[in-house]
Amino acid sequence: MQIKETNLKDCFIFEPSIFGDERGYFFESYNKNKFESLINKPVDFIQDNEAFSKKGALRGLHFQEGEFAQAKLVRVTQGAVIDVAVDLRPTSNTFLKHIAVELSAENKKQLFVPRGFAHGYIVISETAVFNYKCDNVYNKSSENGLIYNDRDLNIDWKLSPSLFIISEKDKILPTLKELFK
């Protein structure tokens, strides 16, 4: 497994070592000891989640606050997405910066999104299966988010907005200015 630093502090892309032959391929998608050694800190993932979505489905940008903040290790096992992480940690030197990474079943990349980040993705293939590990439980009262089309972020979602499929809840999330007033 190789680690690539992103332009966001503590946010990393992982690329697995893939071993293939005439039967197919094999790779280690997660190894706690290797993972923690690469990011140089302990992370105790306690829950795995999976979401199936159609092309244009935009989920996010979500985060949990306070004691229920979550770090996530995300990957795609079918299809492709544009995955976005936004640093919302006021003390970080990458505060309010974001990255957008294509994750796909083909490239097998994973993105580590630390606590204190907003996270979301849009499906760019016909369908996609999105998997993620979380280091904390979901808590509805700690749930928050950031509007996907915030002008200050100017995220390139790679699809025409006419193709977006967005939940009613995600359509009314606050802007950065509203979040940090």
Task: Look at residues 18, 3, 21, 17 and name the one whose alpha carbon lies nearest to residue 73.
Answer: 3
Residue 181: what pLDDT? 82
Q: Is the peptide bond before 159 cis (omega within 30 degrees of 0)?
A: no
Question: Cβ distance 111 to 118 under 8 Å?
Answer: no
Query: What CATH fold (topology level) applies to the domain 45-179?
Result: Jelly Rolls (2.60.120)
SS (H, E, C) 98-143: EEEEEEECCCCCEEEECCCEEEEEEECCCEEEEEEEECCCCCHHHE
Residue 120: what pLDDT? 98
- The pLDDT profile of the chain, 181 residues, written as one tens digit per residue, is 889 999 999 999 999 999 999 999 999 999 999 999 999 999 999 999 999 999 999 999 999 999 999 999 999 999 999 999 999 999 999 999 999 999 999 999 999 999 999 999 999 999 999 999 999 999 999 999 999 999 999 999 999 999 999 999 999 999 999 998 8
Question: Cβ distance 93 to 173 under 8 Å?
Answer: no
Residue 49: what pLDDT? 96
Active site residues: 62, 132
Residue 57: what pLDDT? 98
Return left, alpha or beta for 80; rule: phi > 0 is left, psi -120 to 50 is alpha, else beta: beta
Residue 175: what pLDDT? 97
Where are the chain's structural domains?
45-179
Which pTM value belongs to this model? 0.94
